[in-house]
Each structure stands twice: as C-alpha cells, then as structure tokens.
A and B are shown apart, each in its own frame.
Chain A
Amino acid sequence: MNRWSQVGIVARWEFRRFVKLKQQMIGVVIMVVVGAIGNGMGKMADRARNAPVTVGVVGSLSLPFVLPAVPGVTWDSTRHPTADQARAAVSAGELDAVLVVSSPGSAELVVKKRNSWTGTVEAALTGARREAALAALRLDPAAQASLAAPFSVTVSTVSAGSAQVSRGTRIVAAAVLMSGLLMLVSGFASLFAGITGEKQQRITEQMIAMVAPQTWMDGKIIGLTGAACVGTGLTVGSGAALLLLIPRVLGKPPLNISWDSVSPGLVALVTLVTALGVVMWFSFMAAVAATIDDPNASPRAPLLLLPLLPVGLAFSLLSRAESPLAQGLSMFPLTSMAVLPIRVVLTSVPWWEPVVAIVLLAVTAWGFRLAAGKIFAVGVLMHGKEPSLRETLRWLRTV
C-alpha cells in the first residue's frame, strides 16, 4: 500500500478523533454566553460607577475657581456650613462625602468608606484649578490652544519597500499569528493526549505492525493540524463575529477596517511561517510525547511549554522590533515563527530576511520531522520506563 495513502488514512482518523463539532460548538456557545455575562457585568459596573453622589462643600469661597462639573457628582455648599456638621452628615449617610477646603490649592475629601470616584473628583478639581490659573494669565485663545496642543510627529521612510503597513494588514497578520499560536496550544494538547493515550492503551505495537512509525507520525501531524485548524477557526471565527456583532447590538460604531488595503503578500508570508512553525513544533511534540510513559507523573511535561517561549520573547520585543537581537531571532528557526511576523509588520525588513528565515525554518522543520520520527519509532514501543536523554540521542544515531 502506498505510504501516502496510509498517511491520508491516519490523518483522517486522527482528525475525526479530535474534531468533535458538537462539543466545540457548545464551547463556542459557552464563550458567547460568558462574553454576554461579562458585557452585562461591565454595564452594571458602569452604572454603579456613575451612580449620582452628593458631596458637601465647606469653605468653597476660598477656592480660586468655580466648582467644576463632574459626571454623577452634585456639589452642595449650602446645607452644612461647618466642617463638623458636614462630617456628621457623612457619618449619618445624608451626604456621600464632604470637601473641606483648607487653602486655595488643597482640600480634604471626607468619605464614609473608600471608593473609586474620589480620583475623578480630584482630577476635575486639578483641571479646574489649571484652567483658572491659565485664565488669570489673560492669554488670547490661540495661545491657550497652543499650550494645550500635543506635538505632532509624522513618520516617513526613505528606503524602498518600507511603506507603512496598513491597519487592515496588521490586523490580519496578527490574527494569523494568534491563530498559529492557538493551534500550537490546542494541537499540543491533542498530540500529547493522543500519543500517551495510545501508549497506555497498548495500541502502539498493533499500529507499528501496520504502518511505518514515520508514516504514522506524519499522518498524526497532518490530522491534528487539521483538527487544530478547525478548533482555531471556530474560536477565531466566533470571536470575529462577536467583534462585528457586539457594536451593532450596543449601538456603537462598527469596527472600521479597510480590507482593500490588506497586503496579500504579507499575509501569505505570515501564513507560511506559521504553517512551517506548526509542523516543526508538532514534530517536536510528537517525539516528546512518545518518550513519556505516564503523563501524570512524567518530569518531561514542562517540555511542552518550550515552544511557547518564543512567543513570550516576541511580545517582549514589540517595543524593540528593529533591534539587531530581534533581527537575529526573526531568522533563528526556533523563534522565527513568532518574531518574524512582528518585525515585518512593525519595522522595515530587507527582502532577504524573510527568505533566509523561511529557508532555515523549512530545513529545520524537515529535520525535526525526521529526528522526531526516529525517536517516535522507538519511544512508542517502550513501556514502563522513560528513556534518558543519552538513550534518546543514541536512537537518533542508530535507528
């Protein structure tokens, strides 16, 4: 029987094993429900935050400005003329707070309990005082506007091919990259559970008698990549649908993305790098899982987190995407999947950098696949003990 036919059969089997549309749809529904609950709770929090409060004021005449308007706050400077009376009113719950002005630049805000709106009151008073001070300078409106205006900087580049990446391209590239990372996480879980489960259920010897280990592993990787694509697609798709629907439901302006400006080349580049990265790390994962005897007690479980390190590295380089370190890591095969897309989107990248990165990543992914196949071949038939690192390296040389 043709090797690739067997790869296809294994891939379909693994895909069907791990794609459970019913459960996944339930997961999406739960996500929507949780999102709706979160949104409702946010609204309740907003309502609570904006609940009207009455703040008594003692000594307002010594302020060099008129008490500013603060959303949800009503100033009351008439009912309690002395500080003691006002404090008593706060204690009795007649007032929410009292502002006791001690000098033109300071006051004490007395509240019954600490709460979140006091910061808003302080900011409003500071603003009112600044405006009063500016007014006292008797500047003309143009000078006042000039004082308040931010400094404007427009970035332009002189290198060819360094045009600014559009917002749409950034969003699509980020979505592809995040999907790849989501695929890694969900695919790892499936690979790990699948392979260690097959070892524990003693299926491996039966399978190896029917298919070559490399064929079996390739089929698994293809099938589980497909399964991870479906899971990720459902998650990302439902997330995108929510992003588009929620503003309509809430009566807010919709997300404004100009799809015409999306660069197909850049999206294709990010997709290719992501796909190669997934194959490389899935191969690694298959080899690690094959050497694990008991998933609940194996000291190797933390190795599963290894592929996520480049992601953390990439995020830490967001503000220094143009640095030589970022450039090096964007071509280094173990980190390029996460770092290259960020560099391409955020900085000017010479044409040869993605080419070198892709070639190195492709070669490494292929090497990982072959090495993982050798480890997988021996590892899946071992029961009762886990091989040492030395043994594992010996398999690479001898199998």
Chain B
Amino acid sequence: MTTDASLLTVDDVHKQFARIHAVAGVSLNISRGDIFALLGPNGAGKSTLLRMLVGITRPDRGRIAWMGRSDDAARVALRMGYLPEDRGLYQDVPVSRVLAYFGTLRGMTHAAAVSAAADWLERLSLRERAGDLVRTLSKGNQQKVQFAAAVLHRPEFVILDEPFSGLDPINQEVFLDLVRGLRANGTTVLLSAHQMSLVERLADHVFIMQGGREVLSGTVPQIRERWGAGLTLILQAPTFSDVGERAVAVHPAVTSAVQRDGELRVEVKPTHPVGDLLAVCLAHFAITGVRTEQSSLHEVYVATVGAAAPTALAAVTATEDAA
C-alpha cells in the first residue's frame, strides 16, 4: 500500500473504548503535498483516528507509519501541526504571546516564533489585535489565531479537525484560502469536515468513514464516477408530452425522468453516452434550453452514509459517549 510519495500510511488500525470499537480496522495512505479529507457523521471515529495520528492516544492494534517508519521520532521530524476539534487558547494572555509560546514549544527560537506570529497575524488581518487579550477576540478571530498556532512553525504535515465549524461563510472562504496556501507551500494537509461543498472544492482525496470503518475513498472525480448518480440532464421546453416523457424514461441510458418546475430532469447513468438520448429528446420536444449538473459530493455522502445511518445510529451515539 505504501508508495514512494507516501507521507503517512495507516494500516489496519483499531481503537476500542470499553466495548465500543471507535476505529475498526482503518487503512489509508496519504501522499506528500495532498489535501486529504476525512469525512463521516458524528461519532464515525474521525477524531479518534486523528488523535492517534497526533500521538495523543495509541492504537490498540495496527500500524501508523510516517515515511515508512512507525517510531515517534519520524512523526516528530515532520514537525506536525494540529488544530484540535476542542478549540482552546489561554484567554487572559495577549494574542502574540500565546502564539510565541506555542511556536517555542514546537522548537522555534523565541525570536523566530515572535516573527512568525507577527507574519501570521498580518495575513489573518489581526495585526492590530496582537497585543489584545485572547478573550477580547470574537470566536471567528480566536479560531484564526488557533489556526495560526497550528501552522506557525511551518509543519510538513498538518491535521485540521473540523477547521470550518462555527465559521460564517466569509471566514469559511478565508480558511479555504489558508488551507490552499499551505498546500502551495508544500504542506500536506489532513482535515476532517462536514461542509461537503468546501471539501469538494479543496480536497485531492476523500475518505468517508462510518462506524469506525471506511465506507469509500478516492479522489473527488473518482468518487463521483463510482458512487455518484452520474449526470443530470435538465431540459427546458414549452410543454413536455406524456408520450415523449415515456420515450425518454425507457431509454437505456436513463435512470429516471421527472418533470419539476417546468423542466424535465433526466438522470443519466454514470459513464453512459448521451448523444443518442439527446436525439430522442429533440424528436419529442421543442427544446429551448439544456443544461447539465454533476452529482455533488454532498449527494454521494448522503447516499452512501445516509443509507446505512439508521442501523449505525445507535453505534455512533455509543461511540461518541465512549470517546
């Protein structure tokens, strides 16, 4: 499973809390320079897996290897950055001092940490607040400071647990750019999130978990191709005859054809050519407009995770409680 470019290899990792299997045999591989998204419902085992990667807890079974080595020194050598799901900063301390403290704990000299903190606060439009106490910052700004604390020391690998949660749309875009900026500087990013639309725009690789196990993984296009509903053809016409609608619905490339809001929405099977289907449509309707939509990651997520949700709900709740 390990490739030359592999930065992290997780092989059949298990973690159990009392009788709850929080992580049940997860294997994954993250390449250097990737943005790798870990998705899954609450209690799927994402945070437990991330905590094992950070070294806060240890797996009961399985192997975690950094560049092929599974010792702590290899992880330390990467100068990993971590934004935990449980956000927290020293509240009664000036912003710049907190950042400098975290930087020095990560091995930076005090001067370098102070300088890096100033740079990051500038990038985050918080330069004016450097001397203010953390508690005087808004929640969104505190989250920015926490992000800076995770990446201040220029880590080669950074783990962001729910980086977008609690942010307004503007700040979500800011964070999106920040994560892209990390990748541009060569940092490998592993993040967990619930905001599918953001992940879709950001991630190179997606890994969906449920009940401590992998549900599906791959690049976003691969997932759409393999698991998505394919293409949706949306036709506009003055009227849609019943005969024509039936003709379209029984076409071998079509999954379903439904009229909605004066449009005919035709679900096309994945990888199926649509030229012949368009000819049938033109033969039956006076087409005035055509557009297409790809299945979104959100739809894939809901289709794959949601299908199993009722049976998994009890286990998920129990896992959250145990963790």
Contacts and interface: CB of A to CB of B under 8 A. Distances in A.
B27 to A, nearest CB: 23
Interface string B253-281: 00000000000000000000000000000
B231 interface: no
Interface in B61-112: 76, 80, 82, 84-91, 93, 101-102, 104-107
B101 A206 contact: no
Interface string A15-54: 0010000000000000000000000000000000000000
Given A201-B88, A203-B90, A209 B107 contact: no
Contact of B84 (A10, A13, A201, A209): A209
Interface centre among B102, B105, B106 (most CB of A within 10 A): B105
Contact of B105 (A202, A205, A210): A210
Nearest to B93: A17
A209 B82 contact: yes
Interface centre among A198, A208, A209, A383 (most CB of B within 10 A): A209
B202 interface: no
A165 B51 CA distance: 59
A9 interface: yes
Interface in A173-193: none
A328 to B, nearest CB: 43
B84 A206 contact: yes
A166 B190 CA distance: 69
B86 A205 contact: yes
Contacts of A381: 56
Contacts of A207: 105
Q: What is the size category of the interface that chain B forms with chain A?
A: 20 to 34
B235 to A, nearest CB: 52
B149 interface: yes
A198 B85 CA distance: 15
A204 interface: yes
A1 interface: yes
A206 B56 contact: no
A203 B88 contact: yes
A275 B102 CA distance: 30
Q: Is the interface of A mostly helix, strand, loop or mixed?
A: helix
Q: Is the interface of B mostly helix, strand, loop or mixed?
A: loop
A375 to B, nearest CB: 16
Nearest to B101: A13
Nearest to A202: B88
B105 A9 contact: yes
B90 A209 contact: no
Contacts of A208: 56
B99 to A, nearest CB: 12
Interface in B42-63: 51, 54-56
A350 to B, nearest CB: 48
A209 B83 CA distance: 9
Contacts of B106: 1, 210
Interface residues of A, number: 20
Contacts of B76: 1
A6 interface: yes
A201 B54 contact: no
A273 B294 CA distance: 74
Contacts of A203: 88-90
A210 B102 contact: yes
B88 A206 contact: yes
A203 B105 CA distance: 14
A17 B104 CA distance: 16
A202 B90 CA distance: 9
A205 B84 contact: yes
A304 interface: no
Contacts of B84: 202, 205-206, 209
B56 A209 contact: yes
B149 A1 contact: no
Interface in A315-332: none
Contacts of B146: 206
A366 to B, nearest CB: 24
B186 to A, nearest CB: 21
A10 B90 contact: no
A10 B105 contact: yes
Contacts of A202: 84, 86-88
A209 B104 contact: no
Nearest to B106: A210
A209 B55 contact: yes
A211 interface: yes
B101 A9 contact: yes
Contacts of A198: 88, 90
A6 B105 contact: yes
Interface in A203-223: 203-211
Contacts of A1: 76, 105-107
Contacts of A211: 105
20 contacts: A6-B105, A9-B104, A13-B101, A17-B90, A17-B93, A198-B90, A202-B87, A203-B90, A204-B86, A205-B85, A206-B82, A206-B88, A206-B89, A206-B102, A208-B56, A209-B55, A209-B56, A210-B82, A210-B102, A210-B105
Given A1-B76, A209-B80, 19 more contacts: A1-B105, A1-B106, A6-B105, A9-B105, A13-B101, A17-B90, A198-B90, A202-B86, A202-B87, A202-B88, A203-B89, A203-B90, A205-B51, A205-B88, A206-B82, A208-B56, A209-B55, A209-B56, A210-B102
| Across the A-B interface, the 7 shortest Cβ-Cβ residue pairs | A202-B88, A203-B88, A1-B107, A205-B84, A202-B86, A209-B82, A210-B105
